[in-house]
Amino acid sequence: MSNKNSELAINRVISNSEALTSEEVEKFEVDGLKPKAVVIPKSMEEVAEILKRANDEGISIIPWGGGTMMSLGNIPKRVDIILLLKRLNKIIEYLPEELVVTAEGGIILDELQKVLVNKGQFLPLDPPYSSLATLGGVVASNSFGPIRHLYGGVRDLLLGIKVANSDGTLTKFGGKVVKNVAGYDIKKLYIGSIGTLGVITQVTFKLAPLPEFEESFLAVFNSINDFVKAYKEVLMVSHSSIGIGPSAIEGFDPNSCEILNSLNISKGYLLALKVLSITKDSMRRRISELLEIVKKHDSITAFSINGSEHESLWKKIQEYPNLSSNKFSIRCKISTLISKVGDVMDFTQKISEKYALQYSITAHLGLGILYTYFNSENPYELVKAIEELRAYVLSIGSASSLVVECAPLSVKEKVDVWGPIRKDFFLMKAIKDRFDPKGILNPGRFIGGI
């Protein structure tokens, strides 16, 4: 399509919708690519309508929630229209006695939480940038935070989804009841699909009651060995049942520990737990049990904190990617075996030293998920480090993977952020082809060039 033609086509697609002015459009980009237009639909039907026209015209669409995870994905093949979903921000149904909420996809997570907290409930998802992230975006990027340990991730909490498809239809999968096995569980496909199958316009989530008592338990270790032994033992005795908690079991290497540096914690390997309890007494008991374990493994300090101190610490932990973003240009998500987290940490340190990278590591210990952050003047070294780290992670097997969640263009040009495809890829490709036959949704950004 010539520039002129494509401009006309885009105009036809957005003609009935509110669009940003060209100056405002300037502020948007995906991996350095500027969109030709940014539209702000006001309703789900409008989203569907835009998709239909875009499909007819062969114009690409990039859905945009809070924009907090736009770094995720390979460099798009094309960026024509950005679909800004912030107007789809209504709560559609919230009945506290259902412990379920249905809201439009563009609602900001923290805004929703404010409403829920009033009723003593919350959506147990604590991804970074929660003050900007939208619910739809959280689903599309499969975002989560430390408390996934107890409450599960999006795939465990999402009950229903409504999606605008590239053929202009709106389809709903799942529902608002907690048990539903009617037909295929199509909603699962949208989780973490970064909008390549459809635009998420509405979601229904299972909620949880706010915990009664919550405290932080922190322990610092000098050696990675002690840290690993301690966290393994803590995991062995920790319950993953609502009400018994802990809701989060996090690990930090000395560098990330330093960045967090709230309580002047001595620098070292930090083990941080969000401990839950129903009574005050039992909290004391739990903390003292934890103390015993970490002491056995030679922690250099160990203590608990509560109240606002506790809250601000976990806010920092949740926002760690944000907090550290000016220091590191690369963020990798590594999913592996719970028992291998220590090894991956160790390997990351070695590789960073080898290539003289700045780095930090955080880990959801009970999930087997780590984030490694890197920085370097030299993109070649970064690429080499990522590749070596990925090879190491893949060698662990058991579906271990490394996804580069955030990277400058210079790196993205050389690395597939999703890593190698597996044997099941042809099914994924076929699904994409059936759900979005013209490939207008986020073309090229997902795994295997989907």
Partner 1 sequence: MISDHILKELESIVGIDRLLRKKEELMVYECDGQTFFKSMPDVVVLPTSRDEVVNIVNICNKYNIPYLARGAGTALSGSAVPIRGGVVIAFARMNSILEVDFDNQRVVVEPYVTAPQITAVASEKGFFYAPDPASYTVSSIGGNIAHNAGGNHCLKYGVTTNHVLGLEMVLPNGDVLELGGKALDPPGYDLVGLMVGSEGTLGIVTKAVVRILRKPPATAVILAIFDSLVDASNTVSEVIAVGKLPAVIEFMDKYAIKAVESGVKACGLPLDAEAILLFEVDGFEDELDVQSEKIIEICKKNHARSVEMAKDPDGMAKLMAGRKAAFGSMGNLAPSYVVDDGTIPRSKLPEVMPIIRKWGEEHGFMIANVFHAGEGNLHPIILYDPRVEGKEQEALKLGLDILKLCLDVGGTITGEHGVGIEKAELMPVQYSKDELKRMLFIKEIFDPKGLCNPGKIFPEKEVKILAS
Q: Binding partner 1 by CB under 8 A: which of 15, 18, 243, 391?
A: 243
Please, what is the minimum distance in Å from the beta carbon of residue 326 to partner 1? Answer: 27
Backbone angles phi, psi at 25, to 5 degrees: -60, -35
CB of 239 closer than 8 Å to CB of 245: yes
Using CB under 8 A, pick the residue from 16, 223, 339, 378 that binds partner 1: 339
Q: Which of residues 24-63 bind partner 1 (CB under 8 A)?
A: none
Q: Which stretch in 10-18, 202-210, 292-300, 306-314 sits in contact with partner 1 by CB under 8 A?
A: 202-210
| Calpha distance 390→293 (Å, rounded) | 33
Q: Which residue has the tokens 């990330």?
A: 256
Handedness of CA 294, 295, 298, 299 (dihedral sign): positive
> Residues 10, 208, 382, 385: which binds partner 1 (CB under 8 A)?
208
Sequence-distant (6+) residues with CB within 8 A of 396 are: 336, 337, 340, 343, 344
- Binding pattern for the stretch 153-182 against partner 1, x by CB under 8 A and - elsewhere: x-xx--------x-x-xxxxx-xxxxxxxx
d(CA 202, CA 133): 15
Beta strands 208-209 and 299-305: pairing type? unpaired
Q: 367 or 415, CB closer to partner 1?
A: 367
Of 2, 3, 308, 423, the residue at the interface with partner 1 (CB under 8 A) is: 423
Options 338, 349, 358, 414; binder of partner 1; rule CB under 8 A? 338
Compare residues 19 and 363 and give the one whose CB is closer to partner 1.
Answer: 363
The C-alpha atoms of residue 229 and residue 99 are separated, in whole angstroms, by 38
* Among the listed residues 222, 306, 325, 335, the single contact to partner 1 using CB under 8 A: 335
Residues 61-100 that bind partner 1 (CB under 8 A): 95-100
Closer residue to partner 1, CB minimum distance, 4 or 423 = 423
- Least Cα distance to 435 among 29, 175, 55, 1 occurs for 55
Of the candidate spans 214-222, 276-284, 347-355, 372-380, the one that interacts with partner 1 by CB under 8 A turns out to be 276-284
Smallest separation (angstroms) from partner 1 to the CB of 189: 5
| 197 sits near partner 1 (criterion: CB under 8 A) | yes
For the segment 100-139, give every residue that binds partner 1 (CB under 8 A): 100, 119-121
Query: Number of residues in contact with partner 1, rule: CB under 8 A?
Result: 92
Q: Enumerate residues 6+ apart whose C-beta is below 8 A from 230.
A: 219, 221, 271, 293, 294, 296, 297, 299
How many Å apart are CA 1 and CA 19, to the nearest integer? 22
* Residue 132 backbone dihedrals phi, psi, to 5 degrees: -120, -30
Q: Which of 11, 43, 261, 279 binds partner 1 (CB under 8 A)?
A: 279
Out of 368, 370, 412, 436, name the contact with partner 1 by CB under 8 A. Answer: 368
CB under 8 A: which stretch of 24-32, 260-268, 371-379, 440-448 binds partner 1?
440-448
Q: Does 237 bind partner 1 (CB under 8 A)?
A: yes
Decide whether 198 or 254 has the Cβ nearer to partner 1: 198
Entry field: residues in the chain: 450
Compute the half-sphere exposure of residue 179: CA atoms within 13 Å on the CB side of its CA: 0
Per CB under 8 A, does 293 bind partner 1? no
Of 43, 42, 51, 10, which Cα lies nearest the Cα of 165?
A: 51
- Cβ(302)–Cβ(295) below 8 Å: yes
Contact range with partner 1 by CB under 8 A, out of 13-21, 22-30, 106-114, 425-433: 425-433
